[in-house]
């Protein structure tokens, strides 16, 4: 009997050992190896770099830039004068104007081709006022035609003509019959470039000459010498048309050529 009681007590003691939690040894009783006691503190091993507050780097000052002065305005052109833009030889329009000039030089005369040289070609740019004046004249011509001529009703009978300034000078001034003995007073224009050249051919001292390619609103054309209020221009010969109103001409290109 005593032996059984002791065995029963021993089993109960084991149960108590399983239930009771053994206290953990304190950190103070732990002993580190000698190598650890001589090394640096633990926090320094875990965090090898010192803990510093992040600082925002100051932005470098930008170099002071001086304000760029505004470019000077372009020179003002006169509101009533055209401007000239030279077309280089490789420009497509330069080639077109050159072909028009050469092809219209005595097309009906064999062997009478142009023997000179085209030196320069300029495009003429007109102010808005001049363009408006040209279109106003066209509208007036169309209104006066009153259905008499289909071409006048459509566009005022516009055509392309050549004109040489007085004396063959290199300027845009228009010349024509102005003397008291003139058959008709107006501006001389020609359907061919040779006709315009011959109109100033008596000037022999000039190496270079000027010719204008113009848009012309011929309107109602009278055949033969004479002035009539029902007509805007007069045909003189086969190639020449004398325009009675200077508003009917709008020069487009200036050709400088050598003969």
**Domain extents for the chain?**
127-250
Q: Residue 98 — φ and ψ, nearest 5°?
A: -65, -40
The mean per-residue pLDDT over the stretch 216-232 comes to 82
The mean per-residue pLDDT over the stretch 160-168 comes to 82
Higher pLDDT among residues 32 and 226, named by residue:
226
Contact of 253 with 121, CB cutoff 8 Å: yes
The mean per-residue pLDDT over the stretch 59-64 comes to 65
What is the CATH architecture of 127-250?
Alpha-Beta Complex (3.90)
Higher pLDDT among residues 31 and 201, named by residue:
201
Which of the four pLDDT bands, split at 50, 70 and 90, describes residue 107?
low
Q: Which of 132-146, 147-161, 182-196, 235-249 has the lowest mean pLDDT?
A: 182-196
* The pLDDT of residue 233: 92
Q: What angle do CA 16, 17, 20 make, to 5 degrees?
A: 80
Can you tell me which residue has the tokens 């053994």? 22
- Greatest mean pLDDT range, 151-155, 216-220, 230-234: 216-220
* E strand residue ranges, the chain: 83-87, 117-125, 158-163, 176-177, 186-190, 208-217, 221-223, 233-236, 240-243, 249-258
User: For the chain, how many helices (H) and strands (E)?
Assistant: 7, 10
Higher pLDDT among residues 229 and 87, named by residue:
87
């Amino acid at each position: 009997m005593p032996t059984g009681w002791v065995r029963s007590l021993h089993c109960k003691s084991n149960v108590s050992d399983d239930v009771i939690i053994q206290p953990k040894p304190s950190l103070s009783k732990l002993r580190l190896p000698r190598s650890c006691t001589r090394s640096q503190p633990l926090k320094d091993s875990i965090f090898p770099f010192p803990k510093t507050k992040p600082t925002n780097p100051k932005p470098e000052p930008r170099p002071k830039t001086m304000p760029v002065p505004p470019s000077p305005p372009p020179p003002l052109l006169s509101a009533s004068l055209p401007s000239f833009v030279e077309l280089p030889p490789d420009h497509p329009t330069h080639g077109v104007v050159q072909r028009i000039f050469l092809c219209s030089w005595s097309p009906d005369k064999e062997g009478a081709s142009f023997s000179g040289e085209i030196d320069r070609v300029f495009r003429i740019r007109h102010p808005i006022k001049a363009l408006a004046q040209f279109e106003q004249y066209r509208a007036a011509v169309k209104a006066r035609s009153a259905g008499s001529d289909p071409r006048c009703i459509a566009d005022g009978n516009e055509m392309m003509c050549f004109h040489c300034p007085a004396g063959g000078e290199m300027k845009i001034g228009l010349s024509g019959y102005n003397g008291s003995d003139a058959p008709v007073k107006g501006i001389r224009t020609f359907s061919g470039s040779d006709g315009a050249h011959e109109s100033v051919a008596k000037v022999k001292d000039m190496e270079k000459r000027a010719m204008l390619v113009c848009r012309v609103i011929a309107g109602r054309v009278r055949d033969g010498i004479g002035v009539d209020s029902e007509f805007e221009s007069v045909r003189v010969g086969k190639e020449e048309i004398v325009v009675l109103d200077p508003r009917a001409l709008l020069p487009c290109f200036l050709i400088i050529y050598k003969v």
